[in-house]
Chains A and B, each alone.
Chain A
């Protein structure tokens, strides 16, 4: 019986309390007093750009790095005192490929199973869906695999010991839309098996695929909640506007005093007014027409996670 099975109630949960981590003799703050809790069986996303502190947090939780201040626990074990126990029960897929390049696909998987005192056969049901996709290449050296296949093998290796918590550090970075969708389908199947999953991503559109998310930027959590609740927290009414000349429209909207913020968003510009006023839209349409724009369209839209992230980010940097 694996160790975690005896400990009972906290299995699969992750707690982070006032974690702070600095580098370069304190001059670079990677994590700044971060606290949150992930429940057992949850699919939890850390959403933020490079340098937000996502990888540092994962390394602390997987006991590979110690924090300057604060505490953290996985499965009820402390990441410092009980690091050996945690290492036995968690699965970790780092951002950089970390398998043995000169072992074959099958040898890598076998190696990781052996390392954790299990066999491929014992937990094959966990990796079956994913492993079947790379099985035709099981005799190929890992170093010779394509990026997508390496990613699948790394996931199998992180799963083969039936971890209670799976840490995935930017598994979809640099991956195309099709492979990203496939990857999220795999994650949801793993969740159904009861594994707690912490996944980080710089892609805001992936946030909605998690049950709860933390928006993280320069070591601080901007917001933490369900994706729906985070979007509902967007404070203004949001509008989408477009004309036949978007770059010029963006400059003109920025110059308009009634507009609080505006930025490009796909085929539209998103904008929020300084004050909610029923005359806003008609006034702005007239303004754009006077500036010589054609094809003017302004309509209310539902904010996305990215809108909320931008909103929170700009509030952090410009306190007004």
Chain B
């Protein structure tokens, strides 16, 4: 079997230039299937640009990458069908109900009506949104919106889900409930690719990479990273790596 098919993501010297500016500079890593992979970095380190390439939204300048076995240059549409995406800024449609949002995204992801009905029923029960199913999403508390947005992003059982700061601004209890959902999805075999500014959340990942000035400067388990940098916390590891960053933060 081709090893590329066994990995969720394979990246080799992936690079993106904008004119003279090298936003992403020869990054290489692999993400296993079902792994929770934390993608950290200082503001402006190149995380978003790298994620856009991996999601099939932007062509790399050079290097190779395969996501869910599909090539980032030639098979962008297949990549888009194989992934889910959620960010703090990406919200659901506020003026559609919970049920309508689920139906809309299920439809976009190409689920059959029968499948969609089963999934949306299961999803509403799991999230305990029975009472709110016919309410506008705009009227829900932020934490519920975030949990719903995540559930919708994995409604089609994608190979990989990309989460861009999914828990920003959420209260500490809801933040943890959100991670319960992440673990549950990972348990179903969905690979999780997540960025966060909460360093305690970095600890919940199987492995983390830390980007500085366009390069992946460290990649390992949280435990090994703390050992290597003689640090008590991921906060300290991150600080040691990123304080030398030359790029202005953005």
Contact = CB atoms under 8 A, between A and B. Distances in A.
Given A176-B249, A178-B243, A313 B233 contact: no
Interface string A234-267: 0000000000001100000000000000011111
Interface in A251-308: 263-267, 306
A175 B171 contact: no
Q: Which of A176, A246, A310 has most B Cβ within 10 Å?
A: A176
A292 B64 CA distance: 42
Contacts of B44: 146-148
Interface in B200-246: 200, 203-204, 222-223, 233-235, 238-239, 242-243, 245
Contacts of A49: 142-143, 169-172, 174
Nearest to B177: A263
Interface string A34-68: 00000000000000111110000000000000000
A179 B42 contact: yes
A314 B172 CA distance: 11
A74 to B, nearest CB: 26
A47 to B, nearest CB: 10
Contacts of B197: 174-177
A310 B176 CA distance: 10
Interface residues of A, number: 34
Contacts, number: 99
A204 interface: yes
Q: Which of A49, A52, A148, A179 has most B Cβ within 10 Å?
A: A49
B108 interface: no
B67 to A, nearest CB: 25
A174 B41 CA distance: 12
A188 interface: no
A177 B173 contact: no
A65 B126 CA distance: 40
Contact of A313 (B141, B171, B187, B203): B171
A143 interface: no
Nearest to B165: A174
A173 interface: yes
A185 B250 CA distance: 19
B105 interface: no
Given A146-B249, A247-B183, A266-B233, A177 B169 contact: no
Closest 4 CB pairs of A and B: A148-B249, A146-B250, A49-B171, A50-B169
